Amino acid sequence: MITCKPFGTLPTGEAVEAFTLSNSTDVSVEIITYGGIITRLLVPDADGKKADIVLGLNGLDAYLAGHPYFGAITGRVAGRITAGRFELDGEAYALALTNAPNHLHGGDVGFDKKLWTATPNDDADAPSLMLTYSSPDGEEGYPGTLDTTVCYRLNGAALEISYEATTDRATPVCLTNHSYFNLAGEGSGSVLDHIVQIKADTIVPTDEDLTLQGRRVPVVAPGTDFRTPCRLGDAVPHLLKHHGDNYCFRETPIDAPEWVAQLSDPASGRVMDVFTNDTCMQFYTGKFLDGTLTGKSGKAYDTHAGLCMECQGYPDGVNTPEIDDIILRPGQTYKRQTEYRFCQKRL
């Protein structure tokens, strides 16, 4: 089932719509056409009680005022490009330093701030919403016109996100969704008691500016090693800036999503398994949330109020293709898929 309602009007006069996908599993998700933002994701706990498990804001004006990419489609390149510079086919490109000294999440006006065109498909068992956006040549300094489609599909108790893109010139592409999860329910406090598992042997380390260092290193316990399930609060003190890292699963994308991570909340019994065919995942602990934003529940989002599991390519692959070549060329189709599968289990 799909329902649609107005979500506000942009300063340009364009209308923003909110689509809600639901089915018989009691899982439902709301997505708005501005930024392709997941504004709500309701999931039942072990007792059948539903809660909204993604951080977000009340109303379009709050999103327009600025936020840390809550639930948004992020690109043309999600993550940091070192020094905002790269060379492609003999031509040098300089991008905005949106997180100095680096370029972050596609620029000053990335995909998270665009109005996407929506096409709903009201399938009773697996409703979906297809969003499209054409990024013109030169937008935010990137070469080539990039035609992008992102499809949200509620398949049983799984939220599937599929990405496709084509280009008329070679360009870097690295897309993700930037949802902040709190399986106890948004506004319920920190996620430090959540249990995290990530099936990755290596990360790409960063320096104090969170600049990616362009090399893989083995995960280390305690801290970056989540191959065995670990309480987040036990790992955070050992993480650089308590931030989280870019985890590497494979060198090239694969055809079908495979299990890469799990997040669970012992108190509610909610469990989220993460599947992807992409190469990496940026794991972010919500360290820089500082209480200045008030969420949908009317409560401030303090440090670690939510965490991110952003499946994507390696963002600085344009400078270090040996880790992951993120260049899309004419005639190719960028195809990635991430699934968040929900269940309930008392731990």
Q: Which residues are catalytic?
A: 178, 310
Give whole-number Cα distances, 345 to 48, 266, 267, in Å: 11, 8, 10
Q: Is the peptide bond before 101 cis (omega within 30 degrees of 0)?
A: yes
Give whole-number Cα distances, 261 to 141, 166, 280, 306, 314, in Å: 34, 29, 11, 16, 17
Burial class (CB in 10 A: 0-12, 13-18, 19+), 211: middle
Q: Which helix (H) or strand (E) holds 64?
A: helix 60-64
- Closest by CA to 274, choosing from 163, 175, 189, 179, is 179
Q: CA-to-CA distance for 303 and 101, rounded, in angstroms?
A: 23
Q: CA-to-CA distance for 259 and 199, rounded, in angstroms?
A: 8
Phi-psi label, residue 157: left if phi above 0, alpha if psi -120 to 50, beta otherwise: alpha
Q: CA-to-CA distance for 283 and 260, rounded, in angstroms?
A: 12
Q: Find residue 246's DSSP bridge partners.
A: 204, 282
